Amino acid sequence: MNEVRRLQPQFPTLARQRDADHFGMLIFLSTEVLIFGGIFAALFVLRAQHSAEYARSSTQMHYWLGGINTAVLLTSSAVVALMVEAVKAGAARLAKWLILGAIALGLAFVAIKFTEYALEYRDGVVPLLSPAHLHAGPDTLFMDLYFVATGLHALHVFGGLTLLGSLIWPFGRARRDTSAVFAGNAALYWHLVDVIWIFLYPTLYLAR
Amino acid sequence: MNAYGWPTQASRYAQHVDWLIGGFGLLVVALAAPVFILSAIYLVRFRHGRKVDRSDAERGSVLLETSWALIPFLLVIGFYVVSTRMFLDQQSPPDHALTINVVAKQWMWKFQHAGGQAEINELHVPVGRPIRLVMTSQDVIHSLYLPALRIKQDVLPGRYTQEWFDADKTGTFAIRCAEYCGTDHSVMGGQVIVQTPVDFARWQAQAGADKSLAQRGHELFDRLGCAGCHGANAQGQEGAVRAPPLVGLYGRPVPLADGSIVTGDDQYIHDSIMLPNKQIAAGYKPIMPPFGNVLNEQQVAQLEAFIRSLGAGEDK
Amino acid sequence: MTEALSHMNPRMSQEAIPNTMEERRSYLAEGHSLKSWLTTTDHKRIAILYLLSITFFFACGGVAAALIRLELLTPAPDLLTNDGYNRAFSLHGIIMVWFFLIPSIPTVFGNFLLPLMIGAKDLAFPRLNLASWYIFMIGGLATLATVVLGGVDTGWTFYTPFSSTYSNGAVFMAITAVFISGFSSILTGINFIVTVHKLRCPGMTWGRLPLFVWAHYATAIIFVLATPVLTVTLVLVALERVVGIGIFDPKLGGDPLLFQHLFWFYSHPAVYIMVLPAMGVVSELITNAAHKQIFGYWFVAGSAIAIAVIGFMVWGHHMFVSGQSPYASAIFSFLSIVVAVPSAIKVYNWTATLHKGDIVIDGPLLYALGFIGLFTVGGLTGLMLTMLPIDVHVTDTYFVVAHFHFIMVGGSVSAFFGALHFWWPKITGRLYNDLWARISAMLIFLGFVATFGPQFVLGYEGMPRRYHIYPAVFQPLNVMSSVGALVLAVGYLFPVLYLLRSLRYGKPAGPNPWGATGLEWTTPSPPPKDNFETVPVVDKQAYCYPVGGRDEQSRPRTQKAKAGE
């Protein structure tokens, strides 16, 4: 067994320490869910109070691009899951390539997202910056929440990419830890980023 | 306050609230008293150094736990039923209530009577008649608090809220703002002056209301050019500029462009004037200019009174 | 004078007592440099760092309170301008809530005691613990920056659209301070939950955990689930204020009530963060004072979890007059009654614990009794507030101010002082002068009742909160309240003096001066860096005091593993 993480004094066994790391990560992820929960709450309230305008705004979303993005993120999650298996099997080099693949997909997601933002700017539905075709009231509010939600999500995508990238450098030896503690936690974070998008997509794009 | 320092009760409802807190106060004292009394007894009886039988102390009792959880809970629920009913009743003013428009702004209260009388920080009302306050704010959240009547309601921007009361004694009672609203929150107050019907009528006459609220609204309607699109008698217009008729609008269901149907109530009329593109009437284009930056809330209340008066097909 | 006192109190000596052997081998002796303290990962040192920080913030919040009570001596605005007063009560609230009450017991006593109570060497993530403290301090710095920038005048509740559009104060900086402090809470919560799950020593089953641990576990759940909602809400307010997106301002198409729902969804559970740890402390103090098993262990433990869970369902009771649907108000009213039941269960169980106890009335017990008395009054006035017509009259008045101060100050701060006294010998290795402790406890109790009792009356008579110019008829009660505040302040000052004095003049405490059960009392006072020489093994329940009263020495509740076993 290739144990690269030292046993910390407060833990009686390495197994217990791994358990604790994993559990701690899960709890941290639940806090992330609740952060987005606040934004989802605002979106649901908006939908309940102004369902017609909400549907109209949602129809104007580029749902093809959003759909492609959903597929991109799902694929990247699958790649990351494979990466964890590779680490557990001791295939550190394969894991490195899988990470690079996932990062590429993640960057593709961001590129598509920014393309969408540019299209929205051109269409004149960006509050404050390019609001020519935005009606006052719920339409503006929808776009406000759209930018806040997807912007916050994009920040988390960058966070996830950084975390994954750190498995290449400077924490490359974590790929050689066959109990996959760090790799597993980075993967969990990436899966959460994916899951949040899976809820954002229908909430924003498919309410028609 | 009365002679005993008890706050004045200016309505039957206020008396009911006082009975409620008195009765409930007795209940909570009864629920808490055992704790204080028994603790004191135990502290003395079982103090270290006293020779007393400490054997066989129980470690728990499901029966006791269930009882002291369930019995207080059920007693409190009894009060809950009474309280909630009182509260829900207070949400619906009687149909014959006298409606007064209230606009709150930093840091004053503006009142408009249907007859056109306008007051600032002072509100004259007749005794023995239900009074309904329809309120909105021009800026931040305020709260209209009438302690002697035991009622309070937050006043929101962009929305109407209401509260009602039926004062049963004449006198002058405090109005206080009860939602922190900035620098002069502490002094944003005034008085409600409850008068006999005779005195109130006299006040109405000399309060300088040459025009009713609806008449002022009609003047605004003409002055602002609403007639240009909606027609001189608000009957609507076809042709190059189409605008919906406003006669009979109040209280009627209004079909919207997106297929939904809303009621033409105060809130709808308010939003149609201030933010017309929020809801577009079916069959019409979204070309009405917004008046949010041109009108204040009092003027909107006047226009609403005018449109309400069209409901009967008459122009006052 | 000192002679007379030390004669009456065998715990203090006339001369300074040099460091004992235990102190020289303890966590306190592991490095004396500033660096050793600022880079420590020892949960006990981090607890001390927090103790110093929150004491500082308590003093800051106390200065704001003093300004408020001084101003309110007269109906006229003679001490502060309108804007100055608005900043005073806003800063008082922000500092006391986020930089004193929410951290207080969990970060000082939770951090120090949780590993000791479960037989562990530290928390699960010691470096994360230190990070929590640094994040807390950065948030605190931002609060001080808020003061320097002229203060904020939105109240601690930041209601929109006043805070998002109209206020002229340093709103963004204040929001930033609270936003940052939230991450400190979240990390502490994660640490506590994982610690309780994964670091219990052999034999320490869930059913043998001290109730202090249960209380902190429930609190940690709230930390983790509620705080993120505040985080995102503050982000939205900041975006509205700085960039002008319209979520909460109707003029921009938003809904001010949405802010209130999001804010109170966090802030109601937050008040349980402020009270649950205090209840955990009281369970420890009562069982020790009575030297007896707690009555209804599982009911007390379970009620902590019940309070945490149901506490998430009642936020709308802060909004009965806000303009929310009356039917929603009716539902929140009902649920708020439900959430009172577990608290009542605790109070009844503590009383029953005293029955057939062997009670020594000392400082810690007086603080615990202070908690029970004042929390009960506060909680029952809370029940009054669940009754909708009563709330409509007294919400936003001094009645509510009195209600929450009874719980948070009368309750939680009393419990904090009780904990400070009870575990002081363990933390420092020294005993303090108990006569002064009892005097302080009584001063605090009386000062508190004098300060906040009149405010119930003021509220019912119609004095709104956040008023600094008020009708003259309210002056007598306000004067009574301000005088009470002076007594309260003196009561809070005394412990600082005699506890600090005990560091030099207090007799060495020994491992278990109270004869208490609990693993923390089986190790030297102060404890060594790794807490236990050998891993404890537990075979008894918590609070296994000898039946029938105190004997000469209570046997500690663990068998220490003998060498070679």
- Asked if B277 and A52 come within 8 Å (Cβ–Cβ), the reply is no
- pLDDT at C558 (0 to 100): 33
Percent of chain C whose pLDDT exceeds 90:
88
Distance from CA of A25 to the nearest CA of C (A): 9
| Residue C558: strand, helix, or coil | strand
> Could you give the CA distance from residue C370 to residue A35 in angstroms, rounded to a whole number?
38
Average pLDDT over residues A140-155: 92
* Residues contacting C456, CB < 8 A, separation 6+: C381, C398, C399, C402, C403
Strands B142-146 and B151-155, by their bridges, are antiparallel
The answer on B106 and B43 residing in a single domain is no
Model confidence, pTM: 0.91
Angle value at C-alpha C112, between C551 and C306, nearest 5 degrees:
85
Please state, in angstroms and rounded to a whole number, the distance separating the CA atoms of residues C541 and C206.
Answer: 10
CATH number of the domain bearing residue B223: 1.10.760.10
Interface membership of C496 toward B (CB under 8 Å): no
Q: What dihedral angle (degrees, nearest 10) is formed by the CA atoms of C327, C333, C339, C345?
A: -140
- Please give the Cα distance from C17 to C507 (Å, whole number): 7
Rounded CA gap, A57 and C8, in Å?
79
In the prediction, which pLDDT does B240 show? 67
If you measure CA to CA, which chain A residue comes closest to C228? A35
Query: Chain B within 8 Å of A27 (Cβ-Cβ)?
Result: no
Contact status of A128 with chain C (Cβ, < 8 Å): yes
Give the C-alpha distances (Å, rounded to integers) separating A122 from A90, A115, A126, C363. Answer: 49, 11, 9, 71
Instruction: Please enumerate in sequence order all residues whose Cβ is within 8 A of that of B46, keeping only pairs 6 or more positions apart, or say none.
Output: B52, B54, C290, C354, C355, C356, C357, C358, C359
In a domain, B177, yes or no: yes
Judging contacts by C-beta atoms under 8 Å, the chain B residues touching residue C83 are 183
Residues B79 and B122 grouped into a single domain: no
- pLDDT, residue C405, reads 98
Q: Assign residue B225 a region: left if phi > 0, alpha if psi is -120 to 50, beta otherwise?
A: left
Taking CA atoms, what residue in A is nearest to C244? Answer: A128
pLDDT in the model for residue C8: 53
Residues B155 and B142 sit within 8 Å (Cβ to Cβ): yes
Across the range C185-189, mean pLDDT stands at 97
Q: How many domains does chain B have?
A: 3
Asked if the model's pLDDT at residue C396 lies above 70, the reply is: yes
Q: How would DSSP label each residue in B36-66?
A: HHHHHHHHHHTBTT-----TT--S--HHHHH
Q: What is the pLDDT of residue C84?
A: 95
**B53 contacts C396? CB cut-off 8 A:** no
| Sequence-distant (≥ 6) Cβ neighbours of residue B124 within 8 angstroms | B117, B193, B195, B200, B203, B204, B207
Put simply, the answer to whether C83 touches B64 (Cβ < 8 Å) is no
Residues B164 and B85 placed together within one structural domain of the fold: no
Contacts of C467 in chain B (CB under 8 A): 185-186
Q: What is the pLDDT of residue B231?
A: 83
pLDDT of C361 strictly over 80: yes
Instruction: Mark whether B104 and B198 lie in a shared domain.
Output: yes
The alpha carbon of C330 is separated from its chain's Cα centroid by a whole number of angstroms, namely: 30
Shared domain for B243 and B186, answered yes or no, is no
Q: pLDDT by residue (tens digit) across C98-148?
A: 999 999 999 999 999 999 999 999 999 999 999 999 999 999 999 999 999
Same domain, yes or no: B22 and B83: yes
Torsion of CA C136, C141, C146, C147, to 10 degrees: 120
Instruction: Give per-residue pLDDT as tens, C318-355.
Output: 999 999 999 999 999 999 999 999 999 999 999 999 99
Question: Binning pLDDT at 50, 70 and 90, where does residue A131 land?
Answer: confident
Decide which of A131 and C4 is more confident: A131
- Boundary residue ending a domain (B184, B207, B230): B207
3-state secondary structure (DSSP) of residue C207: helix
A48 touches chain B (CB under 8 A): no
Q: What is the C-alpha to C-alpha distance for residues A166 and A173, in angstroms, rounded to an integer?
A: 10
* pLDDT at residue C3 is higher than 50: no
Q: Tell me: the pLDDT tens digits for C479-530?
A: 999 999 999 999 999 999 999 999 999 999 999 999 999 999 999 999 999 9
- 8 Å CB contact between B141 and C159: yes
pLDDT band of residue C9 (cuts 50, 70, 90) is low
Q: What is the DSSP string of C438-449?
A: HHHHHHHHHHHH
**Average per-residue pLDDT for chain C:** 93
Residue pairs spanning B and C at CB distance below 8 A: 244
Q: Which residues of B touch A52 (CB under 8 A)?
A: 256, 258-260
pLDDT at C552 over 70: no
List the pLDDT tens digit at each of the 316 positions of chain B.
666 778 999 999 999 999 999 999 999 999 999 999 999 999 999 999 888 888 888 889 999 999 999 999 999 999 999 999 999 999 999 989 999 999 999 989 999 998 888 899 999 999 999 999 999 999 999 999 999 999 999 999 989 999 999 999 999 999 999 999 999 999 999 999 999 999 999 998 887 666 788 888 888 988 888 888 888 778 887 766 788 888 888 888 888 877 778 888 888 888 888 878 777 888 888 788 888 878 888 889 889 888 888 874 333 3
Q: Could you please report the per-residue DSSP string of C321-355?
A: TTT--HHHHHHHHHHHHHHHHHHHHHHHHHHHHHT
Per the domain annotation, does B261 fall within a domain? yes
B315 occurs within a structural domain: no
Closest C-alpha to C109, from C389, C346, C357, C364: C364
Q: How confident is the model at residue A183 (pLDDT cuts 50, 70, 90)?
A: very high
Closest Cβ opposite residue B84 in set C86, C165, C388: C388
Checking if the pLDDT of A178 tops 60, the result is yes
Bridge partners of residue B171, in order along the sequence? B194
Residue B55: inside a domain: no
Identity of the residue in A12, A27, A31 whose CB atom sits nearest the CB atom of C194: A27
Q: Which tokens in the block code for residue B214?
A: 């609806």
The pLDDT value recorded for residue B173 is: 96
Q: Is C162 on the interface with B (CB under 8 A)?
A: yes
Element (H, E) at C559: strand C558-559
> What structural domains does chain A harbor?
14-205 (1.20.120.80)
Contacts of A120 (CB under 8 A, 6+ apart): A62, A126, A130, A143
- Secondary structure of C151-205 in the HEC alphabet? CCCCCCCCCCCHHHHHCCCCHHHHHHHHHHHHHHHHHHHHHHHHHHHHCCCCCCC
pLDDT tens, residue by residue, B73-84:
999 999 999 999
What does the DSSP assignment read for chain B?
Answer: --TTSPPP--BHHHHHHHHHHHHHHHHHHHHHHHHHHHHHHHHHHTBTT-----TT--S--HHHHHHHHHHHHHHHHHHHHHHHHHHHHTTS--TTPEEEEEEEETTEEEEEETTS-EEESEEEEETTS-EEEEEEESSS-EEEEEGGGTEEEEE-BTS-EEEEE-B-S-EEEEEEE-S--STTGGG-EEEEEEE-HHHHHHHHHHTT-SS-HHHHHHHHHHHTTHHHHH-TTS--B-SSS-B---TT-TTSEEEBTTS-EEE--HHHHHHHHHSGGGSPBTT--S-PPP-TTT--HHHHHHHHHHHHHHTTT---
Chain pair A-C, CB pairs under 8 angstroms: 109
State the CB neighbour count (10 A cutoff) for residue B118.
Answer: 17
**To the nearest whole angstrom, how far is the Cα of A101 from the nearest Cα of chain C?**
31
Please give the pLDDT value at position B248. 85
Residue ranges and CATH numbers for the domains of chain C are: 49-563 (1.20.210.10)
Do the beta carbons of residue C342 and residue C386 sit within 8 Å? no
B123 and B103 assigned to the same domain: yes
Q: What is the mean pLDDT of residues C4-26?
A: 74
- Specify whether B203 is located in the same domain as B218: no
| Cα(C331)–Cα(C299) distance, integer angstroms | 26
Domain range holding B117? 98-207
The CATH number linked to B183 is 2.60.40.420
Q: What is the pLDDT of residue B2?
A: 67
pLDDT digits (tens, 9 = 90+) for A33-62: 999 999 999 899 888 888 888 888 999 899
Question: Which amino acid is it at B117?
Answer: Q
pLDDT at C6 over 80: no
Q: Examine residue B66 and state whether it is found in any structural domain, yes or no.
A: yes
Decide which of B207, B238, B261 is a domain's last residue: B207
Neighbours of chain B (3+ CB pairs under 8 A): A, C
**Do B277 and B240 belong together in one domain?**
yes
DSSP three-state, residue C292: coil
B105 shares its domain with B155: yes
Q: Given a cut of 70, is residue C180 above it in pLDDT? A: yes
Considering the domain boundaries, does residue B53 fall inside one? no
Residues C473, B83: C-beta atoms closer than 8 Å: no
